[in-house]
Chain A
Amino acid sequence: EAQVTQNPRYLITVTGKKLTVTCSQNMNHEYMSWYRQDPGLGLRQIYYSMNVEVTDKGDVPEGYKVSRKEKRNFPLILESPSPNQTSLYFCASSLKWQGEDFRNTQYFGPGTRLTVL
């Protein structure tokens, strides 16, 4: 089954304790992205990756890191989590963009609910 998976689905941690949320897709998609969802704000992009070893900041990158060493995986790293990073996180992927053609649908993972105490 074609899908985007995330782990863990739920995580409660404390301020300053480094954590990683994994994301993996089995659709051979070049493009991957991380969003956070907060009440009243919708989803906002954190980081994205156009392909292996190519990443860039989205709208709210502060406090996050990413890496793209393999095509299928795009982990989100919080080096020193803080309470304002308590949120619901989604990973997404889509086929490669071509020029100005961004028609390809982005498919989302099930989400990771993170609580930072």
Chain B
Amino acid sequence: AQSVAQPEDQVNVAEGNPLTVKCTYSVSGNPYLFWYVQYPNRGLQFLLKYITGDNLVKGSYGFEAEFNKSQTSFHLKKPSALVSDSALYFCAVRPHYGGATNKLIFGTGTLLAVQP
């Protein structure tokens, strides 16, 4: 079955330190990979995506993610965390279904808590 795993329910990091939010996937073919962020009482906001090309993708708010095909991972990173980065982060994959659903498969989310 095609799936996305976010192994950590919560990640705690001190402000100014680097952060990593992990994501691994299991899909057939070459996937399209996305990261979304959800702030309290807000909708999902698109951060970045990997489609093809350079494995390091840069997105909004200083975030970046590295696609690793051999490890089937797409970890989200930021060199220096801010308190305002505290939110719920979702990894999602759009596999090649051969169909037209355009469905995204989401992970269960990782709560990032940045302490001052």
Contact = CB atoms under 8 A, between A and B. Distances in A.
A107 B46 contact: yes
B103 A45 contact: yes
A59 interface: yes
Given A33-B102, A108-B36, A109-B43, A40 B108 contact: yes
Contacts, number: 66
Interface residues of A, number: 29
B102 A105 contact: no
A31 B103 CA distance: 11
Interface of A: 4, 31, 33, 35, 40-45, 48, 50, 56, 58-59, 90, 92, 94, 97, 100, 102-103, 105-111
30 contacts: A4-B43, A31-B102, A33-B102, A41-B108, A42-B4, A42-B106, A42-B107, A42-B108, A42-B109, A43-B90, A43-B92, A43-B106, A44-B106, A45-B103, A48-B103, A50-B100, A58-B103, A59-B103, A92-B44, A97-B102, A102-B96, A103-B32, A103-B49, A105-B46, A106-B46, A108-B44, A108-B45, A108-B46, A111-B42, A111-B44
